[in-house]
Structures are given as structure tokens and as C-alpha cells.
Structure 1
Amino acid sequence: MSDPVLVVDGDLRRSEGPARPIVDVAVGLLIAPNGDFLLTSRPEGKVYAGYWEFPGGKLEAGESVEMALRRELQEEIGVHIGPVQAWKEKLVDYPHALVRLHFCKVYEWTGTLQMHEGQTFSWERLPVRCAPVLPGTLPVLDWLAAEQAV
């Protein structure tokens, strides 16, 4: 059985015409030795500005998920990441885009966090304190909770 598509703001109009292309996005869960994980806010000027999410960004032509994640985290938050553990994927249907999120766990990185896009950050644990959380991030929090329950 396949994982259902997460439809966000289903009452809002989607673009009509041919099927919308899927935008692939690499997403990093930076997990500290104490188990805290990094969330960042979406900067002003972006869709869902002010919502909290795991950092990452779109894959460019020819990039693997790992390559995109390395590039995006360096550009976005100023860190160089170590090994990348591919974890889960989720297809999210936002009104503005159909997005395939490739979630990866990262336990090692170097550099100091620098929010290059004017966003803010928070080290969190479950249940998260920051709000609102981007809808595509909510399944991840459930997956983390399920792992902790084992």
C-alpha cells in the first residue's frame, strides 16, 4: 500500500490543465547528539512565510538528493554536512506546487549556523514549541514520535 499524498489547503484552487510537474526537494533533519533537531522559519517573501520547517531546497538539474542537500544547507544555513542518511519520502500537494520531499537524517556537520535568508532557527524536540509548522513537516514529527515510541 502506498503512502497517500498529503493535500494541503484542499479548498484552494490548484492550477488547471496538464498534470502539474513534481518538484523534488531535499530536506535535512540535523539531529544533535542530545536528540534535538533543527527547525527553521520560512523567510519573508516565500510561500508560507513564517511557518517552521526542516531546512533544505529544490534539486537542480543533474543533482542527486544528497548533492542538493549539501548545497542547500551550505547556502541556506552555512553548514557543511557529513554523512547523509536517506530516510523517508512524502508527496505533498500544495496549492502552488506538487512537491516530493526527500527527508534525510544528518548527525554530523561543521560550521556555525548562519541564517543566510533572514530566517530564524530553533533546536527542538517533541513536542515542538514553535508554530505554525509547515504542513509538509507534520508527518516527519509523527515519524519521529513513532521511532521514539519503539
Structure 2
Amino acid sequence: MPQAKNTATVHAVAGILYRDNKILIALRPKGKPYSGYWEFPGGKIEVNETGLAAIKRELHEELGIEVISAQCIFKHQHAYPDKMVYLQLFHITEFVGEPHGKENQTLRWATISDLPNLPLLQGNYALLEKLVALV
């Protein structure tokens, strides 16, 4: 994938949580970049933080859950107009707690077939193929 010109580099994580053959997605709230788009919960990796540590921290901060077990299943990069995002996708295989939007984001459990029909962040479309393999 081509490098976006004169942009920042962001290292991020996203988590895939399943329940009843559905995947948890979050709607980016008003006031944030790309508001109104759906995404897989996650966030930026901090300096000197591993991807696993980041997904555990981010899902606790965003969803109020404690990740017990997670596996990185895919790494992807996507050039947005203002940044290059290097994303690690984690399959969350065990967690404690009930996911809820702690950062005023709307959450939704969606089927794989729902996802292509929703406004997803552009970089997330490449992940759909990997999700089909998990189900």
C-alpha cells in the first residue's frame, strides 16, 4: 500500500468480540475525526507498549471489559489522507464484563453480512475477509 504523503504514522489495535454469531462494532461519536463511521473497538498503541497490552488497555477504557485472552490474527496498513495507520487486529477469545460505551460511543452487535452495508472506516473493509474465516 502506498505511503500517504506528508502524514503522521499511527500504530493501532482493534478487537473482534463475538456473541451469538455477531461482532461488536462502535460508532465514532460527534466531535471525533471520522464521526458517524462504524469501527471495531480499539485505539492507538502507546510508546513502548505491545499490541496485546494496548488492546487490553483500550478495551478496558472504551468498553469496560477485562480481556483475558486475545490473539493477533491480522496486521494491516491503510493510508488515510492525513495519516498512515498500521493496525493489528485481535480476536478476543475470552473477556470478563459486559461491553458498554464508556466514551459516549454507540455500540452494536452486527452480523458479518451487515458490515459491508454500514459506513465503516475505510481501513476496516480489508478486515472483513479475515472475519469471514473466523466465523
Q: Which runs of 5+ in 1 are unaligned?
A: 8-13
TM-score (structure 2 length as normaliser): 0.88
Change (3 A) 1:44 1:15: farther
Q: Give the Cα separation in 2 of the matches to 1:134 and 1:115.
A: 18
Deviation digits for residues 85-125 of structure 1 (CA, Å, limit 9, x no counterpart): 11101111111211001001012111122211111111111
Deviation, 1:51, is 0.4
Q: Give the Cα separation in 1 of the matches to 2:8 and 2:105.
A: 28
Task: Establish whether residue 135 from structure 1 lines up as the match of residue 122 from structure 2.
Answer: yes
Q: Give the Cα separation in 2 of the matches to 1:47 and 1:25.
A: 15
Contact 2:23 2:112 in 1 (8 A): no
Q: Give the Cα separation in 2 of the matches to 1:21 and 1:48.
A: 16
Q: Which runs of 5+ in 2 are unaligned?
A: none
Task: Please tell me whether Structure 1 or Structure 2 has the larger radius of gyration of its CA atoms.
Answer: 1
Structure number with the higher strand fraction is 2
Deviation, 1:139, is 1.2
Deviation, 1:15, is 5.5
Q: What secondary structure sits across from 1:139 in the alignment?
A: helix
The Cα RMSD (Å) is 2.1
Aligned counterpart in structure 2 of residue 24 of structure 1, from 11, 26, 49? 11
Aligned counterpart in structure 1 of residue 85 of structure 2, from 94, 99, 103? 99
Deviation digits for residues 5-43 of structure 1 (CA, Å, limit 9, x no counterpart): 5x8xxxxxx654xxx4421101101122x3321111111
Contact 2:22 2:109 in 1 (8 A): yes
Query: How many residues in Structure 1 have an aligned counterpart in Structure 2?
Result: 134
Q: Give the Cα separation in 1 of the matches to 2:134 and 2:50.
A: 29
